[in-house]
Each structure stands twice: as C-alpha cells, then as structure tokens.
Structure 1
Amino acid sequence: MGILSRTSYVIRSKINSVLNRTEDPTQTLDYSYEQMRDQLQDVKRGIADLTTQKKRLEMQKRRLEDNVDKHNEQARTAVEQDREDLARRALEKKKTKMNQIEDLERQVSELQSQQDRLIEQKDELQSRIEEFRTKKETMKARYEAAEASSTVSEAMTATGEEFEDVGRAIERAEEQTEDMEARSAAMDELHESGAFDDVLSDKDNIDRELEELSTDSGVEAELETLKSDVGADESESEPVPETAADEDELEDLDTDVSDANVSDEEVESELAELQDEEN
C-alpha cells in the first residue's frame, strides 16, 4: 500500500469515525424512508408516462384502423365504377395503413409489458416501504428508549460529564471541610495545652496559673472578711444564744479561715523564694 493510499485510508477512517459519533439513527431512518418514498414516486411517474405513451399509440392505431376502413370503401366504390386504378391505389394505402397498425400493435404490446413490470415493481417497492416504515418506527422507539435509559443510568451512577463535574466539586468541598475541621480541632488542642503563648504578653503558663491561684486566694480571703463583718453586725443587733451546734460550726469556720490564711502565707513565701532565685 502506497503513501497516498494509506493517507486516503486514514482520512476515510477518521471521517467515518466522526460521522458515527455525530450520526443520529432516528434521523438516518427518517431520511432513508423519505428516499424510498421518492423512489416510489419516480416509479409512479414512470408508469404514468409509459401509460400516456401507450394511449397515444392506441389512439394512432384507431385512426389508422379508420383509414383502413375508408380505403376499403374507396376500393369497393372504385371497382363498382370500373376504376381499377383507383381501387388499386386505395388498396395500396390500405395495406400501408395495416402495416403501420401492426407496428403500432407491437409497440403497444411492448409498452403494456413494460407497464405491467413497472406496476409489479411499484407494488413490491410499496410493500417494502410499508415494511421498512414499521421497522423504522420500531427501531426509533427502541433507540429513544435506550437513550432515555442510558441518560437515567448516567444520572443514577453519576457517570455523565456534568455529573462527574458535580461529583468532583462535592469531593473537593468535603476535602476542604475536613481540612478546616482538622485545623480547628488542632488549634483548639494547642490552645488548651498552652503550646501557643500569648504574643502580647511575656507571661508563660506557670505565671498565669500562679496569678489564678493568687486571685482565688484573695477572693476567698475577702469573702471570709465579708462573712466576719456580716456576722459581727448580726451579733450586735440581735444577740442570739449560742448552742453547742453553733459553737461547733464556728470552730470549723475558724479552722477553715486559719487554714486559708496558712495557705496564702505558704504561697507568698514560695513566690518570694522564686523571685529571689530569679534575681
């Protein structure tokens, strides 16, 4: 196979592949059906033309037959008038007309045979067209059903191009959401663990915890002072006899206050030692 032949073959194969992808079977079937109907119309026109020609020959044949009768009468009249020469001439014309009639009859017979064949072909073609029409409608219905089923299947399985794009967009959104959730959880964990110190402060976690303890101790001490003041005011305004249970509660309260004071002194002592060490 030469270069030109191979090139031509490749080009034809490429064109055929493109046509196969762009071809719509339903349109092809409709076009084929219309072509067959056009052929049937051509056959019908051919039959009509042939029949018209045959009728012309038959009309010409009838005129010749009339002439034959006329020449026959002329010959008879000429014989009766002893004009043999006229009779001979009339018979000669009659013979010529009869020869023409025979030729026309042969032509009419041939045209009739052609007409019969064309009518048979027309009937066969018409039957094939009707059969093709039934198959065409069946094939179109099957193709449309298959196309609809394929579209639904692509939608259900998300294999179409548009659904593939939607699926990829959903996957990207899920990945980005998971990344953001993981980052947020990591930041919360690092913040709770104190891994990230406040950039606006030079205090570390120990300093903040010590401040919280000092604040809590100060609040407790102030609360105890308020309780003592309130108790003193109540005792001055309305003396109430103390019972054994009340004495026990007061002893417990005094013990808690003394314990709280000792704890504050210990914390202050440790803080002083730590400050001395740092200095």
Structure 2
Amino acid sequence: MGIFSRFSDIINSNINALLDKAEDPEKMVRLIIQEMEDTLVEVRSSSAKTIAEKKELQRIINRLQEDVADWQAKAELALSKEREDLARSALIERQKSADKADLVAADIANLDEHISKLQSEVSQLQEKLADAKARQKAMLMRHSTVTSRLEVKKTLDSNRINDAMYKFERYEQKIDSLEAQVESYDIGKKSLQDEFAELAAQDKIDNELAALKAKVNKQDTDA
C-alpha cells in the first residue's frame, strides 16, 4: 500500500503534518509527489471514461427523443385517420420512450455532478502537487547548502588547516633566514652611493669646523 490509500486521502492530507512526522522528509516528499502524479494519471483516465459514458448516454437520449417525436407524429396520424386504438398504442410507446429518456437524463445529471467533483479535486491535487514540488526544491537547496557548510566545518576542524599554517610559518622562517644571510654579506661593504654620502657629510663638518674656528679667533681678537 502506498502513502495514500484513496484519492480523498491526498486531497484532505496536510503536507506539513506529514513532513513533521517523517524521519526522512526528503524521501517523504519524493513519495508524496510520486503518489500524487500517479493519482492524477488515474483520475484523469477515469474522467475521460466518464466523459465518454456521458457522450454515449447523450446519444441514447437523442434517439429516445426522436422516438418520442416519432410516436407523437404516429399518434396524430392515427387520430386523423380515426384510428383511436392505434393512436392510444402510439401514445403508450411515446410515454415509454419519454420515461427512458428521463432515466438517462438522471444518469447524465449524476455523471455531471461526478465530473464536477473530480475536476474540483484534481484542481486541489494539482495545487498540493505544486506545493510539494516547491518544498522539494527548497529542501534540496537547503540540503546542498548544509552539506557544503558541513564540509567546510570539517575542513576547518581538521588538522589539515593546522598543518598548512605550520608549513607557511616554516616557509616564512626559511625566507627570514635567507634574508639574514644576504644582509650579513652586505655588512662592512660600502656602496658607491654610501661613499658619496660620506664625502658630502665630511665637507659639511669641515665647513662647520672652519666657521667655528673663525668665530673663536674673532672673539680672542676682540678681547
């Protein structure tokens, strides 16, 4: 037996309540959708048969109505020929045909009511099916998102990240060591730029020293 035993069970079911009780909501949604789609196929097939039956009954009514009109014409003809006995028999047959037509018309009315209910229920089922499919899509998206987040969490919590950071630190230390070696080779060596800078600094000091000597000599002279 499927999730639903009858068509009315689907129409009257509450999808939210079903999903709340389900241990595996995704699987439940798939089963609900499958059951609804199968039911739609069955109901539409049943509706097609019912409509075909109605058309057949309508053809029967048309023939009976033709019989009623035919027996009416025969009764009138018999009376015009002063054959009251034939007219009476014709009227009896006309009534039989009319009674049969009424019975068939009642059957058609019942079929119309049945078809109307089916159409209403199919419309409700289609709405529920659309809702279930929308929920299925949302659940799949949520599942994909949660799965991705879980993988990220697992990666962050694993030792791989720590190992990677440790390797980065080791590489940085190696680079620092290489830079220190390069700098050690440069200690004590003067570049051309450094030598010119020293000359410029020496000239400045010599000038300042000469100016200071001149100032001191002037003070001695004035004294």
Do both proteins adopt the same fold according to a TM-score greater than 0.5, normalized to the shorter chain? yes
**How much has 1:63 moved relative to structure 2?**
0.6
Cross-structure match for 1:54: 54
Cα deviation code 1:4-35 (max 9, x no counterpart): xxxxxxxxxxxxxxxx6xx6x54543333122
Whole-Å Cα distance in 2 between the matches of residues 141 and 131 of structure 1? Answer: 15
* 2:89 aligned with 1:105: no
Residue in 1 aligned with 2:43?
Answer: 43
Deviations 1:199-220 (A, max 9, x none): xxxxxxxxxxxxxxxxxxxxxx
Whole-angstrom CA distance in 2 between matches of 1:28 and 1:157: 33
Q: Which residue of 2 aligns with 1:132?
A: 132
Q: Distance in 1 between matches of 2:158 and 2:106?
A: 75
State the SS of the aligned residue for 2:110.
helix
Q: TM-score, normalised by structure 1?
A: 0.47
Deviation at 1:96, TM superposition (A): 0.4
Percent identity between matched residues is 21
The alpha carbon displacement at 1:158 in A equals 2.7
Partner of residue 64, structure 2: 64
Give, in angstroms, the shift of residue 40 of structure 1: 1.4
Letter in 1 for 2:89: R
Answer yes or no: is 1:152 the counterpart of 2:152. Answer: yes
Aligned mates of 1:55, 1:146 — CA distance in 2: 55
Per the normalisation by structure 2, the TM-score is 0.58
Stretch of structure 1 that moved more, 50-59 or 90-99: 50-59
Kindly tell me the number of residue pairs found equivalent between the two proteins: 141
Q: One-letter code of the match for 1:56?
A: E
Distance 1:141 1:28 in 2: 16
Structure with the greater alpha carbon radius of gyration: 1
Taking the TM superposition and a 5 Å limit, the aligned residue runs for 1:134-213 are: 134-158=134-158
* Structure 1 residue 120 corresponds to structure 2 residue 120: yes
Q: Following the alignment from structure 2 to structure 1, what is the Cα–Cα distance between the partners of residues 34 and 46?
A: 18
Distance (whole Å) between structure 2 residues aligned to residue 74 and residue 90 of structure 1: 6
Q: Which has the higher contact order (CA 8 A, sep 6+)?
A: 2
Report matched runs for 1:69-84 at 5 Å. 69-84=69-84
SS at match of 2:82: coil
1:34-83 deviation per Cα after TM superposition (whole angstroms, max 9, x unaligned): 22111112221121121111111111111100000010111111111122
- Measured against aligned partners, the alpha-carbon deviations of 1:96-123 in whole angstroms (never above 9, x if no partner) come to 0111111111111111011101100011
CA deviations over 1:178-229 (Å, ceiling 9, x no partner): xxxxxxxxxxxxxxxxxxxxxxxxxxxxxxxxxxxxxxxxxxxxxxxxxxxx
CA distance in 2, matches of 1:141, 1:111: 44
Question: For the residues of structure 2 that align with 1:44 and 1:69, how far apart are their CA atoms?
Answer: 37
* Structure 2: gaps of 5 or more residues: 1-22, 164-223
Alignment-mate amino acid for residue 116 of structure 2: D
2:29 and 2:132 in contact (8 A); partners too: no
Contact 2:43 2:122 in 1 (8 A): yes
User: Match for residue 94 of structure 2?
Assistant: 94
SS in 1 for 2:64: helix
* CA deviation after TM superposition for structure 1 residue 149, in Å: 1.5
1-structure distance, mates of 2:58, 2:101: 9
**Counterpart-to-counterpart distance in 2, 1:151 and 1:32:** 30
